[in-house]
Chains A and B, each alone.
Chain A
Amino acid sequence: MSAPPTATDAATGAAAGAGPDRDGGRAGLPVRLLRHTAGRYRRRAPGQPRAVGYLYVLPALALYAVFLLVPLGQTVWLSLLHWDGLTAATWAGTDNYRALLTDPSLRAPFLHALSLLVFYAALPVALGLMLAAALSRFRVRGMTFFRTVLFLPQVLAMVVVGVAWRSILAPDGLLNDTLRAVGLGSLTRSWLGDYTWALPAVGTIGTWVETGLCVVLFLAGVQRIPRELYEAVRIDGAGPLREFFAVTLPALRAETAVALTLTIVAGLRNFDLIYITTSGGPGNATSVPAYEVYHRAFETNEVGSAAAMGVGLTVLIFALTVSVARLVEGRSEGRSR
């Protein structure tokens, strides 16, 4: 198990700006720099022996270890067992993991999760960038209002979101009513009960939730881009499109990384939404790892398999967030050279 170093940096960086901090992004600085600033550090400490730091950290660490780190290890342990949660467990070795790769019914949830990411991450980021580009050309009035409204889906409990969207996507819900009203009655269907459309329908809910976050994030970034940059490319005779690719997009690189990280993680941890809207149905068309962990562990008594799925989900999240950060970092290094 290793922390996602680069993802952390992206996150740290974002917080650094947002919070009251000025130089908070130091977390990842190399040893050389640390040694260089060691003197300043010593001056920083308010005159107590350094070991007192452990005492400050201890209470939080104890709680964190018992209720987060140890269970994480236990999940790994459980994933190596065959266990029904009731009788004695037997050693499974890598059986559960092998099943994860070979059994289509266990692989399907991961494939569903990946397709959901198109709706949870790719689409909101694209929409957010487009809107940000449109707004980059002048100062917008009433920004606080728009920000508050656009960000609202983020603070609603997923249960409430699920209940609301179940009404919208129901066979005689708002969406179908609207389609009928505009003469597209042939497109109506029971969105959550349709084998082909249930997954995109759930994905759309994800897009609805995450787009606001991306827009707000990018808008903040866009307001920060110096006007002169735009004026410079405009003098070169650039249209809106080139303006977007030459100025807006590169300037929003860090925000893009943060947005992707946040939305990917949200898209893979969507147990509550699936539980409320489809319970993995119809058939197993919308089963995702987050839901399967619960279903297997607490309903069908396959604890080992559930744990393996949980580990798989964790690995997937780390792999994706790390590669997002790598991608962004790599491009930036290329540019600075």
Chain B
Amino acid sequence: MRSARVTGTDSGTSPRRPHSRHRRRTVPLALAAAGMLLAAACVPGTDGSGAAGAGVPGAGATAKPDPSKAGKATLTVWDQEVRGGQNDELERLNAEFEKKYPNIRIKRVARSFSDLKTTLKLAISGNRPPDVIQANQGYPDMVAFVQAGLLTPLDDYAGLYAWNTRYPSTLLNLNRVSADGRDFGTGRLYGISQTGEYIGVYYNEDVLEKAGVKPPGTWGELTDALPEIKDEGELPVQFGNLDKYPAIHTFGVLQNQAGGAEEARESVFGRGKGFDNEPTREAARTLADWKKKGYIPEGANGTGYDDAAKKFADGEGAFLITGTWQLPDLKKSMGDKLGFMPPPPAERGAEPVTTGGQGLAWSVTSKSRHPQVAAAYLDFITSRHAADVMTEEGVLPAVPGSASREVPEGSVDEQMVEGWEQLNAADGLVPYLDYTTPDFYDSLSADLQGVVNGSLSPDELSSKMQRSYTAFQDKKNSQEKKRAEGKPKP
């Protein structure tokens, strides 16, 4: 056994003079290190050359692009539509697009929301960025990309393809960033969304029946039902927050129910007072309380988001509070047992309000070699026909088409579409909170894990959110002022 001789070492036993050895090594090494530093004193990009600048001109399109004349081209598309229904819908549309334009090949790269979020920045600032990407709206992602000049403005195409009339302006505004790349929700259009989405309440009819509870008609009925379900030995609300972001959704709903919808919406767009308010604290209290009372699972922070959905489908949990994007998968494994509704309002028959808006924006990168084809692709996957394909696959289109009127009566799909129409009519959608500041996604998702765990108090959460909000608004204002005074920006 050769490795038995592993210790044929002379360290410690051979005669040595540490000083001479030390000097002999350190002097040349120090020289080498200095040389290295000198050689290194320039890292490409530190002079700002990496940024293309926010003022990238639009593609300057004057006529509807015709991909069939674009020659042979490959369109690389990065998306996060990995779940059953969304995946099927997009695969179908991609195939149809390729059939319509045989000269175009679509190279699709699909990965989970979290994985897309962590790798997208690297990908689109690289040398061979994808042509079409799905970008999360708000300051953390879309605004940062626009600031770095990584996305192409789509206003020309919006006119040519009549996206301006296809979409309600409230939805389009979520995909807008000001020309200087500073403000979110106004200015140029940098993407359009395919799907509508909102956070609703899924329920398992079998579990509710077992607990002797009816599907709630008001928010009060829902919260009253939780202890009853618990007493029956069932889990009231299924919840998995290992991926960190799901709590933002639950928290948003709770905040809206506590009466914070209007203020939250204003603050997301930077026009509000922030988050130092009672509804924010109330929402955090409720979340912590649910955990303490066992209404949400003990291991919520350690359960994956998709694992939780799988468990809910398996009969573990009476309610699941999450987005419409889970509907196709849940329906597939639960069938008639599944029910869905927007979060019930405080009073029966009142207008609903919830967190949501639309799916991630589909954007065209500024280094794309086929911006025209990309724009045509965007139009194709958001068209009326695409909306019908989505409906057939159980996905909620941002603008429901004719097929949505034909969904079977009483089905969960109908509940979902009806809820969407009610929410839009009542202007009841509050944007996701993580849009608010560049670091909001990171800090809020981590902090909410703390709230769920009970280690971060509602007051602390509220003041942390407020600090982040005001710090960012102050920074923006001072930059605004400096620019107004004509000084160069720092």
Contact between A and B in the complex (any CB pair below 8 Å) = yes
Which residues of A approach B to under 8 Å, CB–CB? 1-3, 5-6, 9-10, 12-14, 16-18, 21-22, 25-26, 28-33, 69-74, 76-78, 81, 83, 85-90, 143, 169-171, 189-195, 198, 216-217, 220-221, 223-224, 253-255, 257-258, 279, 281-284, 298-301, 325, 328-329, 332-333, 336
**Known contacts A189-B298, A336-B13, A88 near B46 by CB under 8 Å:** yes
Q: B242: which A residues are within 8 A, CB to CB?
A: 190, 192-193, 281-282
A and B contact pairs by CB, cutoff 8 A, 5 listed: A5-B25, A6-B11, A16-B9, A88-B47, A190-B300
Question: Nearest chain A CB to B486's CB is how many angstroms away?
Answer: 19
Question: Of A73, A191, A198, A329, which is within 8 A of B39 by CB?
Answer: A73
Question: Nearest chain A CB to B30's CB is how many angstroms away?
Answer: 7
A17 CA to B25 CA, complexed, in Å: 24
Q: B241: which A residues are within 8 A, CB to CB?
A: 193
A29 touches B14 (CB 8 A): yes
CB neighbors of A among B65-115 (8 A): 114
Interface residues on B, range: 35 or more
B302 touches A191 (CB 8 A): yes
A318 CA to B80 CA, complexed, in Å: 41
Q: A17: which B residues are within 8 A, CB to CB?
A: 5-9
A83 touches B46 (CB 8 A): yes
Which residues of B approach A to under 8 Å, CB–CB? 1-17, 20-22, 24-26, 29-30, 32-33, 36-43, 45-48, 50-51, 114, 117-118, 121-122, 125, 144, 147-148, 241-242, 244, 297-304, 307, 438-439, 442, 446-447, 449-450, 453, 455-456, 490
Given contacts A5-B22, A13-B7, A332-B11, 16 further A-B contacts (CB under 8 A): A73-B40, A73-B41, A77-B41, A78-B46, A87-B148, A88-B47, A90-B490, A171-B298, A189-B302, A193-B301, A220-B3, A281-B242, A281-B446, A283-B450, A299-B442, A301-B121
**Known contacts A78-B46, A81-B46, A221 near B20 by CB under 8 Å:** no
B29 touches A70 (CB 8 A): no
B50 touches A85 (CB 8 A): yes
A2 CA to B25 CA, complexed, in Å: 8
Q: B16: which A residues are within 8 A, CB to CB?
A: 28-30
Q: B304: which A residues are within 8 A, CB to CB?
A: 170
Question: Of A2, A73, A89, A191, which is within 8 A of B48 by CB?
Answer: A89
Question: Nearest chain A CB to B452's CB is how many angstroms away?
Answer: 8
- Nearest residue in B to A302 (C-beta to C-beta)? B439
A301 CA to B144 CA, complexed, in Å: 10
A220 CA to B24 CA, complexed, in Å: 34
B4 touches A282 (CB 8 A): no
A298 CA to B446 CA, complexed, in Å: 18
Question: Of A69, A74, A279, A282, which is within 8 A of B301 by CB?
Answer: A282
A211 CA to B125 CA, complexed, in Å: 41
Question: Nearest chain B CB to A234's CB is how many angstroms away?
Answer: 22
Q: B3: which A residues are within 8 A, CB to CB?
A: 18, 216, 220
B43 touches A74 (CB 8 A): yes
B5 touches A1 (CB 8 A): no
- Nearest residue in A to B29 (C-beta to C-beta)? A2
**Known contacts A5-B21, A31-B20, A300-B442, A170 near B302 by CB under 8 Å:** yes
A190 touches B303 (CB 8 A): yes
B439 touches A300 (CB 8 A): yes
Q: B302: which A residues are within 8 A, CB to CB?
A: 169-171, 189-194, 198, 282
Question: Nearest chain B CB to A213's CB is how many angstroms away?
Answer: 12
B51 touches A87 (CB 8 A): yes
Q: B6: which A residues are within 8 A, CB to CB?
A: 14, 17-18, 217, 220-221, 224, 255, 258
A282 touches B449 (CB 8 A): yes
A328 CA to B3 CA, complexed, in Å: 21
Question: Nearest chain A CB to B448's CB is how many angstroms away?
Answer: 9
Q: A283: which B residues are within 8 A, CB to CB?
A: 446-447, 449-450, 453, 455-456
